[in-house]
Structure 1
């Protein structure tokens, strides 16, 4: 993936404090499900989206397409889609795990003041196809890179983000009436967190703890 270049004379010198602060930012980047309903200050969302747009992308294609879902009717339809898919998912679990699943809070759709539907254009003119002919999925990977950039930028300003993945992509695309070439990558809830926790919620409610890096590290 390609990103912006920095003139050698202007190359930043990231201090030890900055590096420690960045590590703290990564640790505090949580998937938020509990939001306060008060809106973001005027201009803050636009600022965060401009920061996110600095993310790298394959062929410099910037394939992300961001839909700000303001319509209460469309939000309600997305929420109904989530509830239907969540019920389907619940039925795949058995006994205690099924009970546990139904107790989880898996979205902030009804409280978050901002809803963002993030799509990836699967055939963007920008970039002229560079870098994606053998791996077209790099367009979606680029969009995820933008999402993570947005997430970190938001968290640095005290704003929380929650990724709602229990949705049918086709249904969401139909609700929002987007171009047929757009692929849903994420539906994000955005707002100020009701609570602040450094540990993941799924770890606190004993669904799944994090595991050591060594379990995912291989050498060949």
Structure 2
């Protein structure tokens, strides 16, 4: 799949998963794509925990559903009605889950490029997730990022060391179809902003030239 096509058609999948297993070679390519991500000081701070065990995933799901209920309580009635229609995870609907972590101590303490921006360690693991997401889409596999969880609770379940950070919890599986638009847009939760409203020139808040604004707003991948 062309890179721009993968970017355009990547989706956060939660509700169209199939139970078909993911072949080891396909999973290995997705993990390798993550491992090839750029990282600050070439620190490669990530680890990938492949989670197949149903009992472990059930424990994760319990935490996710608990947090879903807590979030729903904060919403007004109209938003709650929309939220009730949105599935937020595919933890048991997929053949496997992957937890992505960040180890700040790897090649430390003096990691090149990190002394003024230590958060770039976590950004590096996020870049690995981005690579995996595009690789999964190119393989015809859906991926969903589950964020309704208290990180320390999940770290305990997965026996992640105290000093290692949980960055992402992902659900991967083949799908019946990839939605044409993001599910949250489809369900009316939000819509995509015009890119010209998000690009500034030289400093915060300064609009780009009108000519370039028209190019931005007309650009299609």
- Structure 2 length normalisation: TM-score? 0.87
User: Out of 14, 28, 38, which is 1:33 matched to?
Assistant: 14
Whether 1:208 aligns to 2:190 is: yes
**Which ranges in structure 1 are unaligned for 5 or more consecutive residues?**
1-17
Residue pair 1:60, 1:126 contacting (<8 A) in 2 also? no
Equivalence map 1:39-118=2 (5 Å): 39-118=21-100
CA distance in 2, matches of 1:159, 1:152: 10
**Which ranges in structure 2 are unaligned for 5 or more consecutive residues?**
204-221
Equivalence map 1:127-138=2 (5 Å): 128-138=110-120
Residue pair 2:7, 2:134 contacting (<8 A) in 1 also? yes
Residue pair 2:85, 2:187 contacting (<8 A) in 1 also? no
Whether 1:163 aligns to 2:142 is: no
**Secondary structure of the residue that 2:149 maps to in structure 1?**
coil
Deviation at 1:148, TM superposition (A): 0.4
Deviation at 1:128, TM superposition (A): 4.2
**Secondary structure of the residue that 1:43 maps to in structure 2?**
helix
Deviation at 1:40, TM superposition (A): 0.8
Cα 1:126–1:151 change in 2 (3 A) is farther
Tell me which stretches of 4 or more aligned residues in structure 1 moved more than 4 Å: none
CA distance in 2, matches of 1:177, 1:127: 24
CA distance in 2, matches of 1:23, 1:105: 27
Deviation at 1:96, TM superposition (A): 1.2
Q: How many residues align?
A: 201
CA distance in 2, matches of 1:31, 1:51: 18
CA distance in 2, matches of 1:127, 1:65: 18
Deviation at 1:147, TM superposition (A): 0.5
